[in-house]
């Protein structure tokens, strides 16, 4: 009798420890049960959709771009964020925004995550299916979304910095000409990583340092260039002018700001049948406890 109680207590302790370890990584569930989500917009105007109340949004989707947490390329569980874009102007992103507001169906951040100067690192994982016909260096990018002067009341200085493997000619483990296919790739952006910009009140791919090339400014140089900037979101996505089809996925994004790491795992919401089994399991445990007490 006592041994049973001890064993049960032990199991509960193990469960508690596991729960603590997992909680460092927030799971973002799809809106729909398996096989999950496929958000698509056929029109040319950017459209978005909230992923539950997670703070993540399918966003900037246009020209038959597709994005959704589904089971096509599972990573660390049953799902990941699937992307598919046909050739041309198609685009699809998934973005973490603060107090996001919808403007004609596309979402914009209305809040601040942290001062840009406090961003220490950013990492994510991506997958390129070998069926993709876009140029070999293309893969899902990761972006830091910024308000350059830190004043949210002025919006013409909004934009972001983009990390792309093809520009990491020094630090990349793969040849710039070709992104690996059919396998998950993990990359970490640090102060020495090269990033290029869109928006921020300085145009597209601005050259902010003394070298003639526009794509060789490091994250550290950008932080020095915009000392008052604030982070208003993070973004991952594909497309926009890619000549050819892209099919792939992203998952496992995390960022470290002022010593605090925030991580996400995108998963497909358990099916009702699975939830029923889970409920049955709880009922069995409850029954055992009840009998033990009785
Ligand atoms: Ca996952
Ligand atoms: Ca501003
Ligand atoms: Ca330069």
Residue 174 confidence (pLDDT): 55
Residues, Cβ < 5 Å to ion ligand 3: 207, 209, 211, 213, 216
Residue 24 confidence (pLDDT): 77
Ligand 1 centroid to residue 267 C-alpha, Å: 5
Residue 263 confidence (pLDDT): 98
Ligand 3 centroid to residue 40 C-alpha, Å: 37
Closest CA to 38 of 2, 85, 82: 82
Closest-approaching ligand to the CA atom of 218: 3
Q: Which residues does the chain have with pLDDT short of 70?
A: 1-23, 170-176, 273-294
Ligand 1 centroid to residue 96 C-alpha, Å: 16
Ligand 3 centroid to residue 180 C-alpha, Å: 27
Give the 3-state secondary structure of 139-152. Answer: CCEEEEEEECCCCC
Cα-to-chain-centroid distance, residue 101:
19
Closest-approaching ligand to the CA atom of 250: 1
Residue 168 confidence (pLDDT): 85
Ligand 3 centroid to residue 115 C-alpha, Å: 24
The position carrying tokens 């994250």 is 219
Ligand 1 centroid to residue 209 C-alpha, Å: 38
Alpha-carbon distance of 35 to 233, in angstroms, equals: 28
Ligand 3 centroid to residue 292 C-alpha, Å: 71
Ligand 1 centroid to residue 265 C-alpha, Å: 5
Residue 270 confidence (pLDDT): 84
Ligand 2 centroid to residue 228 C-alpha, Å: 10
Residue 213 confidence (pLDDT): 87
Which domains does the chain show, CATH number per domain?
27-293 (2.60.120)
Residue 175 confidence (pLDDT): 59
Q: What is the pTM for the complete model shown?
A: 0.85
Ligand 3 centroid to residue 203 C-alpha, Å: 14
Closest-approaching ligand to the CA atom of 30: 1
Cβ atoms of residues 91 and 63 within 8 Å: yes
Ligand 1 centroid to residue 69 C-alpha, Å: 9
Ligand 1 centroid to residue 182 C-alpha, Å: 16
């Amino acid at each position: 009798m006592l041994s049973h109680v001890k064993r049960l207590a032990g199991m509960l302790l193990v469960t508690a420890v596991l729960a603590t370890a997992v909680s460092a990584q927030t799971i973002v569930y799809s809106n729909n049960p398996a096989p999950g989500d496929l958000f698509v917009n056929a029109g040319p105007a950017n459209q978005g959709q909230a992923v539950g109340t997670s703070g993540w949004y399918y966003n900037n989707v246009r020209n038959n771009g597709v994005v959704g947490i589904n089971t096509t390329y599972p990573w660390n569980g049953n799902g990941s964020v699937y992307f598919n874009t046909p050739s041309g102007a198609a685009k699809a992103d998934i973005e973490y925004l603060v107090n996001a507001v919808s403007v004609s169906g596309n979402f914009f951040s209305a809040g601040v995550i942290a001062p840009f100067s406090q961003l220490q690192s950013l990492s994510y994982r991506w997958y390129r299916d070998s069926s993709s016909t876009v140029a070999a260096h293309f893969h899902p990018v990761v972006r830091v979304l910024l308000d350059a002067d830190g004043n949210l009341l002025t919006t013409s200085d909004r934009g972001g910095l983009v990390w792309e493997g093809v520009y990491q000619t020094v630090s990349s483990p793969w040849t710039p000409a070709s992104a690996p296919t059919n396998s998950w790739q993990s990359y970490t952006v640090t102060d020495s990583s090269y990033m290029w910009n869109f928006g921020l009140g300085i145009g597209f791919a601005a050259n902010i340092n003394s070298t003639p090339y526009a794509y060789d400014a490091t994250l550290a140089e950008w932080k020095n260039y915009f000392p008052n900037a604030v982070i208003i979101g993070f973004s991952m996505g594909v497309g926009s002018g890619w000549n050819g089809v892209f099919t792939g996925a992203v998952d496992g994004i995390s960022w470290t700001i002022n010593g605090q790491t925030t991580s996400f795992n995108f998963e497909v919401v358990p099916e009702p049948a699975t939830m029923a089994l889970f409920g049955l399991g709880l009922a069995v445990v409850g029954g055992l406890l009840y009998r033990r007490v009785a």
